[in-house]
Structure formats: structure tokens, C-alpha cells
Structure 1
């Protein structure tokens, strides 16, 4: 009787069923990482560097820093995130990118984490992207913005639909909604 080959095959099958493939480990590397008591706590320097990286690459400056896009990102950090007079007009009214340096000056870290984790705003702010970030990424953003210190003036206030904003403003004109089909009955 050839029992050894059968046992070897059974052991291999059981072993494969109990272990993860490398691709699964990579895909699930983030699961539970933030809650593991042995996860290294980032240093202040690491959080500041991460925050600057996220601000630079996530498009925050595109709206929250006047002239950033026009200068292709070549603005001194002293000018970053002080808001913009550029209005964004659409069916929702006219919104303005906030001066984040003033906004965060009035929040402690816990308040920012709560605020940013549940933020719902008017267009054009992609609040869904901020909500999707990890708490550590939002903490890094907070620490970086706070490291810049308060500067600038508050952004202009929101204008409801039907009001014409002062220039400059960007107007989003949407096509008319398609007609609703009426069922024949």
C-alpha cells in the first residue's frame, strides 16, 4: 500500500489551506495594523513629513492655496493653505476653499480627527477622500498644518444659489437633466 504519498499530498493540501499567499498578505497588510498594540508610533518628524507629503500630493493646495496650480506648485510653504478668493459657483451656490491654517488653529487634534472623519461639505471639496484616509494620515495632516502656524485671512463666506459672487470665480454649468420617462398605462 502506498500510504506515504497519500499522506504527503494530504499534508500539502492542509498546509496550503492554512497559510496565506504572499499576495493576500500584501493586500491585507493594513487590516488591524492601526489597532495592533505593537505597531510603532510615528515620531513627530515622521508625522510632519507624512503630512507635508499628503498635502502636496492629495491636491489640498490646488484649492486651499491661492496661485498654487498656476505656479505649478512652486510656492513657498509660508503661503500654503491660507485659503483662496476663488469662488466655485454651481447649482449649490458659491463655495470657497477655507483657510485651513486658521481653521485648524481653533481645533485640538481630537476635534480635527472627529471633524475630518465625518466631514460633509458642498462641492467642490472632495470630502469623501478625507473621510477615506486613515486616522494616522489625518493626524499627520493636522500636525503639518499646525506646524505652519496661523496666517492669512478667512475665506469669503458661502453664497446661496442665485447670488453672483465677486470675481474671481469658476462656474460649473451642468447640462439640463434628462426628461423623466412617463410610463404608458
Structure 2
């Protein structure tokens, strides 16, 4: 018995051959391969831009200027770091309990570590990060050392918080920074105080939450940790190795059990003074808010919409008093609704700490206004 041939008929064979040729031609066509890659690249750049804009990078790495509505980042110098020709003098009269200060450009910071300057993050190959590799960038953020093995990053670079960003997020940030127009600006070397460099403040363990693939509470925890909310909203205490965050009062804001610090000498200094979680500048003195789930003194009685409106409008519950520096509501207000809702969902799970944070203190009248 002869079995039917398993070879296709000439017509079927020709059809399959034509189909195969069509597959080869379509696969070899540039649009078939390049388009998805280009789309993925564009999506990655857009994600990196979103992370940079909502992560507050411009707050320190872009010099500030006096605009029509007050101080604002000078976007013509976007992410170029501390201006090379600008001499930053030590602020006059910095006394305890105030432990640090920033220049009026927000690009120079001084404290027990010495004086540090924000880096040039543009794509300039000589003075920026244009010659860096993605691996060097990620290793820098993970380890707190230049290129992962150089000198330690100094305050106030919040690398202990940013180290919690996932590799995909850090890679997207680096990809976007490589597209930022190059500005040749050699930032001065830091002036390091004598003695060993300060140990970085301890942070939570590296998170393992995959961005965009987690439930809202886990996603919110990832964002709150990676964006460094605890840097300002968690009070500090003296530990065995020096100041450290008091995690028993996590995100409870300025500790109302202590005395309100005296106003530092702002006039003529042109600086911002820091005593986490209290801050002083031309706006007066402000205190980091209680973000815990406490109903009376925290966010426990807030609605999701009130939280979103606060960050969108810069007013308490969207219609109350104006938020004052250094709360970067203009930055966080650019986050999408899903991320802001995730942050709120997580904050509702933070253990309640009853702590009524003081109201902001208005600036004292200047000497010229008294005349």
C-alpha cells in the first residue's frame, strides 16, 4: 500500500514558499524591527524624564534664580549643578541646633561634613556624565560612591533613598539624562571637613518591589522610600554612632515634644537653614508634617482626593493654607494620579503617631522694614 506523499503539492509548496519569502521580507524590513525598539526607547526616555521631574532632581542640580513669582529653578541651566564661577561663602551665625545650610541657588550645602556642591548631570562628556556608562551610574547610586568605587557622595545627595529605586528605573533616569543638553560647567570639588567622612544615615533595606507590578500599598511604599519622604518627615535621635532616624516615630514629622528652635539670622545670609525636620529661610520657619495614619494629628481623617488636591494645588486639603518650603509640592504634583493614590494608600497603613506639629513661623520683619 502506498501512503499519500507527505510532500506538499506544487501549488501548496509554492504558496508556502511565497509565505516564507514574505516572512523573510517582512522580518528584514526596518520598520518591523526598529519600530518596536524605537517605541520602547521612547517609552524608556519618557519614564526617565517623569522620574527626574517628579524626583526633585532640579531642586538641587539646577541653579535657582529670582523669577517673577519668587525663587525658581533657572531652566536655561537645567541640571548643570553648582555654577563654576560662583563662590559660596560660609553662612554667618550658624549656631546649634541648626546643623546645616544651603546657598540661595540650592546648589551648595554646608554642615559638619564640610561644603558640598551639586553635580553636573548634563550630557557634557568632560564636566557632566556624558562619558559615564549606565553601570557606573547605577553603581554610584547603589553604593554612594563615585562610579561605585570612588570618593563617597556627600550630603545632601539622598542616595540612601534613591538606592531603593529598581534597576529599570535607574536605567531610565540615566537614559534620559544622556539626552539633557550638554552644559560645560566644572563644578568645584567639595571642601571636606577634617576627620573621617560621616557615615550615611541608615535607611530601610533595599526594596524588592517591581515598579508598576505591585499592589497600590506596595507601590506606595516603594515610592515613599525611594523618594526620601522619611528624610524630612521622620524625626532624628542620637544613636550609638551619632544622629539617626527614629523609626519608632516614622513619618510623624517634627517632634512636638521638643522645643521649637530659635529663628537663625536669615537676613543677609541668602541661605536656607536645616535642622531636620525643621527648616528656615526667607519664608520663615517650617516643620515637616505628620504623615502617619493618626486621625487627629496625621492623615488618618484625610480623603484620597484631599491628598491629591494638596499636592496639585500646594494647599492643605486642596483649599487650606499654602504649603511652605522646602516641601516640593510643585514637583510631587506632577506625579500621575495612580502614583499619588498609591502613596496615599501606603501612608494610610503607617502606624499612627499622635504628634501635633507646630504651625509655620512667619519671617521676622527685616531691619529695613522697621525703619
The equivalent position to 1:49 in structure 2, one of 34, 42, 46, is 46
Alpha carbon RMSD of aligned pairs, Å?
2.9
Q: Which has the higher contact order (CA 8 A, sep 6+)?
A: 1
Asked whether 1:116 is paired with 2:141, we answer yes
Residues 173, 157 of structure 1: alpha-carbon distance in 2 compared, 3 angstrom cutoff = farther
The equivalent position to 1:143 in structure 2, one of 168, 175, 184, is 175
Contact 1:87/1:168 (8 A) holds in 2: no
- Equivalences, count: 128
Residues 169, 84 of structure 1: alpha-carbon distance in 2 compared, 3 angstrom cutoff = farther
Contact 2:44/2:175 (8 A) holds in 1: yes
3-state SS of paired residue (1:125): coil
- Runs of 5+ unmatched residues, structure 1: 1-40, 175-185
CA distances 1:113-139 after superposition (whole Å, capped 9, x unpaired): 222222252211111122110111111
2:82, 2:171 → 1: CA distance? Answer: 23
Deviation at 1:51, TM superposition (A): 1.0
Deviation at 1:160, TM superposition (A): 2.4
2:128, 2:112 → 1: CA distance? Answer: 26
Q: By percentage of residues, which structure has more strand?
A: 2
TM-score (norm 2): 0.31
3-state SS of paired residue (1:51): helix
CA distances 1:151-183 after superposition (whole Å, capped 9, x unpaired): 130212101238xxxx97656579xxxxxxxxx
Contact 2:114/2:193 (8 A) holds in 1: yes
Asked whether 1:84 is paired with 2:74, we answer no
Q: By percentage of residues, which structure has more helix?
A: 1
Q: How does 1:54-133 map to 2 (within 5 A)?
A: 54-67=51-64, 70-71=71-72, 75-76=74-75, 79-85=77-83, 86-101=107-122, 102-120=127-145, 121-133=153-165
3-state SS of paired residue (1:89): strand
1:161, 1:111 → 2: CA distance? Answer: 27
1:59, 1:126 → 2: CA distance? Answer: 11
1:84, 1:168 → 2: CA distance? Answer: 15
Deviation at 1:109, TM superposition (A): 1.6
Residues 168, 150 of structure 1: alpha-carbon distance in 2 compared, 3 angstrom cutoff = farther
- Runs of 5+ unmatched residues, structure 2: 1-36, 84-106, 146-152, 195-268, 277-371
2:270, 2:192 → 1: CA distance? Answer: 17
2:271, 2:119 → 1: CA distance? Answer: 15
Contact 2:62/2:77 (8 A) holds in 1: yes
1:142, 1:113 → 2: CA distance? Answer: 8
Contact 2:128/2:184 (8 A) holds in 1: no
